Amino acid sequence: MTTVTAEHHAPTRLVHAVEQARAAAVEEAAADLGPEAAGAAVGDHLDAVVEDPGTLTHFFAATQGGYRGWRWSVTLAGVDEAGPVTVCEVVLLPGPDAVVGPQWVPWHERVRPGDLGVGDLLPTADGDARLVPAYVAADDEELPEQIAVEVGLGRTKVLSRAGREAAADRWFDGPHGPGTDMARAAPGTCGTCGFFLSLAGSMRGAFGVCGNEYAPADGAVVAVGFGCGAHSDVVVDAVSPVAVAELVYDDGVDLEPVGG
């Protein structure tokens, strides 16, 4: 019995045209696998979906090696009950449980943070919103002083406000932000630590760099709300590693009466 999934009424003759659809799938498979293997490549009938009142698609399991979960899709059409049933399309499609490759990513989006290696070059795109010419980036509290040096003599571009905000969000939500497990368990925050080196400019109040070689974030940008067990104010109480009771009773001593 053919199972039909559709919102429209399925034409009866299209629903019953399972063998015609199977034959079309076998013919398509023969083009790649050869006529001898084509028959075995088309498995059981799985489903039928009505595309519109005059079009229906039959699905068959694909049983050839390497196509687990895939299915043959054969679309049939019939204008009216008296006309012929026409094969519109035969294609091999992945099913819900099919093994498929990762989603395609456009080439200009494929470089991810951490991908850049020794000798690699990564030019910034024209109009990158993260950068602006140094002479127009006067929305940073320290840029007016920097502009005199940078225009024609140093950097031609600096971070725009959007670029700084994106970096701040990334650092705040990253592994050295205040919301991490290490920060919540720390005895103090980086903002009160002697090893904390503040950043310059508009980032000064929110971020800095850790200068403690024993800390997990040494040399990395940390939020002022981050913290770890290497805080400069950590004091360890010197206590005996062995728990000693305040009173000790020796119950193993036998007491003898004194005198007669």
Give residue-wise pLDDT tens across range 218-250. 999 999 999 999 999 987 666 665 665 555 555
Summarised one tens digit per residue, pLDDT across range 139-196 is 555 555 555 454 444 677 888 889 999 999 999 999 999 999 999 999 999 999 999 9
Using CB atoms within 10 Å of the CB of residue 246, give its burial: 0 to 12 exposed, 13 to 18 middle, 19+ buried.
Answer: exposed
Lowest mean pLDDT: which of 123-137, 157-171, 191-205?
A: 123-137
Read off the tokens for 84. Answer: 């012929």
What are the respective helix, strand and coil percentages of the chain, to the nearest 5? 25, 20, 55
Q: Tell which residue, 83, 75, 80, 87, has the closest CA to residue 48.
A: 75
Who contacts 209 (Cβ-Cβ below 8 Å, separation ≥6)? 196, 197, 199, 219, 220, 221, 222
Bridge partners, 197 (sequence order): 209
Average pLDDT, the chain: 82
Task: Return the C-alpha torsion angle 154, 156, 158, 161, nearest 10.
Answer: 140
Under DSSP, the state recorded for 107 is G
Beta bridge partners of 62: 42
Where are the chain's structural domains?
4-94, 164-223
Give the model's pLDDT for residue 7: 46
Residue whose entry in the numeric block shows the structure tokens 């001593």 = 253
Write the CA distances from 49 to 3, 12, 167, integer angstroms. Answer: 8, 13, 49
Cα distance between residue 221 and residue 176, in whole Å:
7
Backbone angles phi, psi at 166, to 5 degrees: -65, -40
Residue type for 221, please? Answer: V
pLDDT tens digits, one per residue of 176-189: 999 999 999 999 99
Residue 93 CA to residue 90 CA, distance in Å, equals 10
pLDDT of res. 213: 92
Task: Find residue 207's DSSP bridge partners.
Answer: 223
For 157, the token pair is 């571009």
Instruction: Give the containing element (helix H, strand E) for 164.
Output: helix 161-172
- Tell whether the torsion through CA atoms of 61, 66, 69 and 75 is positive or negative: negative
* DSSP bridge pairs for 71: 61, 93
In this prediction, residue 252 carries a pLDDT of: 61
Considering only 31-40, 92-101, 138-147, 176-185, which range has the smallest mean pLDDT?
138-147
- pLDDT category of residue 44 using cuts at 50, 70 and 90: very high
Backbone φ and ψ for 60, nearest 5 degrees, come out as -125, 145
Average pLDDT of the segment spanning 99-108: 81
| Distance, CA of 174 to CA of 182 (rounded, Å) | 12
The pair of structure tokens assigned to 158 is 């600096």
pTM: 0.51
